[in-house]
Structure 1
Amino acid sequence: MELLCFLGSFASACGVSVYLLGKWLSRRRAAAASALALVTTHQGKLTSLPRGAVVEVVGESHYQETLEALSEERTGRSQRIATTAHLVRERVNRFDENAVAVVIEGRLVGYLSRADALGFRALIEEMEARGEIAACAATIVGGWSRGERGSGKFGVKLDVMHPDKAPADATIISHAVTGLWEAKGPAGRRKVVQRALESLRTEDAKTQLLNEASSVEVVAALEQSAGLKTPAAKRRRLQAALDALRADEVPDELQRQQVEWLEAALRDLDAPPEA
Structure 2
Amino acid sequence: MQAVVESHYQDSLIAICGTYSRDGKEARYEGLIEREPANPHDPNAIMVKILGRKVGYLPREQAERVSEQMRGVGLSSATCSVRVRGGWRTNQHDEGCYGVQVAIPNHGRIDFGIGAEPRTR
In the alignment, what sits opposite 2:55?
A: 109
Which of 79, 85, 92 is the equivalent residue of 1:141? 85
Code of the aligned partner of 1:202: I
Give the superposition deviation at 1:91.
2.2
Instruction: Say yes or no: does 1:202 pair with 2:114.
Output: yes
What secondary structure sits across from 1:56 in the alignment? coil
Task: Give the Å deviation of 1:139.
Answer: 0.7
SS at match of 2:18: coil
* 1:94 paired residue among 30, 35, 40: 40
SS in 1 for 2:68: helix
Note closer, same or farther for the CA distance 1:119–1:149 as it changes in structure 2 (3 Å cut). same
Could you state the TM-score of these two structures normalised by the residue count of structure 2? 0.82
Q: Amino acid of the residue matched to residue 105 of structure 2?
A: M
| Equivalent of residue 154 in structure 1, options 90, 93, 98 | 98
Is 2:61 the partner of 1:125? no
The answer as to 2:9 corresponding to 1:63 is yes
Q: What do the CA deviations read for 1:146-182 (whole angstroms, capped 9, x no partner)?
A: 123432111101122246155xxxxxxxxxxxxxxxx
Paired with 2:114 and 2:92, the residues of 1 have a C-alpha distance of 52
Give the paired residue count. Answer: 117
TM-score between both structures, scaled by the size of structure 1: 0.39
Q: Please tell me whether the aligned partners of residues 35 and 77 of structure 2 are also in contact (alpha carbons under 8 angstroms).
A: no
Which is helix-richer, 1 or 2? 1
Contact 1:88 1:124 in 2 (8 A): no
Q: Give secondary structure in 1 for the equivalent of 2:83.
A: strand
What is the aligned-residue identity percentage?
27
Q: Which runs of 5+ in 2 are unaligned?
A: none
Structure-2 change in CA distance of 1:200 and 1:104 (3 Å): closer
Provide the aligned C-alpha RMSD in A: 2.3
* 1:25-36 alignment, distance < 5 Å: none
Q: 1:200 to 1:63 in 2, by over 3 A?
A: closer
SS at match of 1:140: strand
Which of the pair is proportionally richer in strand?
2
Deviation at residue 83 of structure 1 after TM alignment: 0.4
**SS at structure 2 position matched to 1:137:** strand
Assess if the C-alpha contact under 8 Å between 1:60 and 1:110 holds in 2.
Answer: yes
Q: In 2, are the aligned partners of 1:84 and 1:104 still within 8 Å (CA)?
A: yes
Cα distance change, pair 200–87 in 1 and its aligned pair in 2 (3 A)? closer
